[in-house]
Amino acid sequence: MIAILQRVREARVEVAGPVNSRVTGQIGPGFLMLVCAEPGDTEAVAEKLIQKVLKLRVFSDEAGKMNRSVQDVGGGLLIVSQFTLAADTSGGNRPSFTGAAPAELGRRLYEHCLSFARSQHPLVQSGEFGADMQVHLVNDGPVTIPLRMT
């Protein structure tokens, strides 16, 4: 699985509707996590990714050092599916997304990420798999961390 973590002061996801948009997830300080499943991924890989995210120490302690996890600071986790993280641009100017998991597997692993994260952390919000979403965030730092789990 591929993920991009952004430490945020706040973030929200809106899904476009026929008349207007609706907010599907919103957090204050914490992580915006963009996630993409790849063809060989499993539920165990998804759980390993969530465990890493929850323990990653990139929040400041009293001395201003990045020494605390999202769990330590009581931050939120906003998880958004984003198959474009698997983009391959080596063949030209139009990206190929064949590196992303098929939709059925992608949905299953995204839902598993959400379920597992909610079992491990009290504040987990989400986007909507396969939807046209607008992601609003205030990046904190900025701190942006790419992750890949196999």
Q: Catalytic annotation on 82?
A: yes
Selecting among 6, 31, 59, 83, the annotated active-site residue is 83
User: Is the alpha carbon torsion for 36, 41, 46, 52 positive or negative?
Assistant: negative
- Active site residue: 6, 31, 82, 125, which one? 82
Contact status, residue 5 vs residue 144, Cβ threshold 8 Å: yes
Answer yes or no: 134 catalytic.
Answer: no
Return d(Cα 4, Cα 11) in angstroms, integer: 14
Please give the backbone phi and psi of residue 140, each rounded to the nearest 5 degrees, phi first: -105, 110
Tokens at 26, concatenated: 């919103």
DSSP annotation of 61:
-
Q: Output phi, psi for 80, to 5 deg.
A: -125, 130
Which is the catalytic residue, given 84, 98, 134, 144? 84
CA gap 44, 51 in Å, rounded: 11
Residues marked active site are found at 82-84
